[in-house]
């Protein structure tokens, strides 16, 4: 194997270690955020749950007041009917009839309002049941996530420590000037550092390599960078069995 291919192989091995490190670091950063997002969702659902309960309480109070008013008007109507038999002249009779008619209209209106309230209470109860289901599921999920986060981060930290030790050993196999170039790019450019070129296209930025640069890359005489994204590149055909 040529010196060039050996160095590329060493860099690819280093990149594979960095792949795992990157994945674990990303997970360690995202795990607490996932928990915070879940807490925010739970709080929003909790507030929605409370609003529904308050609305139901208000609707039931309205229905209770309506029942009292309906019963009161029914008593008044009953009394008016009793008094109707005792009126002494037509004027009093018509006045009593108007009063009874007004009470009946008022009661019909209240009855319609009461039916609408009952229907709305039923709708709100159905909605509250759905929210209760979501609320309980999210509560269980939040509890599980909170209990598992510490262990998840602990395991990730242990794995990260192991990988950093492995990276140190892998980095020793790369010639210092090449390793320094790799590290320079790693600290300044988006992940990853070294990528294969397939069919003349850089797999890092998905931009075609200029023809002359592609020819030089295929020669395999020196480590080149993508002129667009500046990542280190190698011709994928040089490592047909590498799994890249």
**Domain identity same for 52 and 85:** yes
pLDDT of residue 1: 66
Tens digits of residue pLDDT in 178-199? 999 999 999 988 889 999 999 9
The count of domains in the chain is 2
Could you tell me how many residues make up the chain? 244
Tens digits of residue pLDDT in 81-138? 777 777 778 887 888 788 888 888 888 888 888 888 888 888 888 888 888 888 888 8
Question: Residue 147: inside a domain, yes or no?
Answer: yes
CA-to-CA distance for 161 and 167, rounded, in angstroms? 10
Tens digits of residue pLDDT in 170-183? 999 899 999 999 99
**Domain identity same for 182 and 153:** no
**Domain identity same for 84 and 201:** no
Contact 231, 205 (CB under 8 A): yes
CA-to-CA distance for 13 and 15, rounded, in angstroms? 5
**Domain identity same for 50 and 108:** yes
**Domain identity same for 84 and 48:** yes
Q: How many CB atoms lie within 10 A of CB 218?
A: 13
Which CATH number covers residue 108? 1.10.287.1490
Taking all residues of the chain, what is their mean pLDDT, rounded to a whole number?
A: 88
Confidence of residue 243 (pLDDT cuts 50, 70, 90): very low
Asked whether the predicted pLDDT for residue 240 surpasses 90, the reply is: no
Choice between 118 and 162, residue whose per-residue pLDDT is larger: 162
CA-to-CA distance for 21 and 25, rounded, in angstroms? 6
Q: At residue 8, what are phi and psi to the nearest 5 degrees?
A: -60, -40
pLDDT of residue 7: 92
**Domain identity same for 187 and 111:** no
CA-to-CA distance for 107 and 151, rounded, in angstroms? 65
Tens digits of residue pLDDT in 7-18? 999 999 999 999
pTM: 0.56
Question: Residue 11: inside a domain, yes or no?
Answer: no
Contact 146, 60 (CB under 8 A): no
pLDDT of residue 162: 95
Last residue of a domain, one of 168, 184, 204: 168
**Domain identity same for 52 and 131:** yes
Which residue segment(s) compose the domain that 85 sits in?
A: 30-168
**Tokens standing for residue 19:** 């792949």
pLDDT of residue 152: 85
């Amino acid at each position: 194997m040529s010196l060039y291919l050996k160095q590329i192989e060493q860099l690819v091995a280093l990149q594979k270690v960095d792949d795992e490190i990157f994945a674990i670091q990303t997970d360690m950063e995202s795990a607490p955020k996932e928990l915070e997002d879940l807490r925010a969702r739970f709080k929003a659902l909790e507030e929605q749950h409370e609003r529904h309960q308050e609305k139901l309480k208000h609707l039931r109070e309205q229905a209770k007041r309506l029942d009292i008013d309906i019963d009161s008007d029914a008593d008044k109507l009953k009394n008016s009917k009793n008094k109707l038999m005792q009126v002494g002249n037509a004027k009093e009779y018509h006045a009593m009839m108007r009063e009874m008619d007004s009470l009946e209209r008022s009661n019909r209106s209240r009855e319609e309002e009461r039916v609408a309230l009952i229907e709305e209470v039923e709708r709100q109860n159905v909605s509250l049941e759905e929210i209760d289901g979501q609320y309980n599921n999210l509560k269980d999920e939040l509890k599980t996530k909170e209990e598992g986060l510490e262990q998840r981060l602990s395991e990730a930290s242990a794995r990260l420590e192991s990988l950093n030790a492995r990276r140190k050993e892998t980095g020793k196999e790369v010639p210092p000037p090449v390793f320094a170039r790799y590290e320079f790019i790693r600290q300044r450019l988006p992940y990853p550092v070294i990528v294969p070129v397939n069919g003349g296209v850089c797999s890092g930025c998905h931009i075609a390599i200029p023809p002359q640069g592609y020819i030089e890359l295929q020669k395999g005489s020196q480590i080149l960078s993508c002129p667009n994204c500046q990542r280190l590149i190698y011709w994928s055909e040089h490592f047909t069995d590498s799994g890249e």
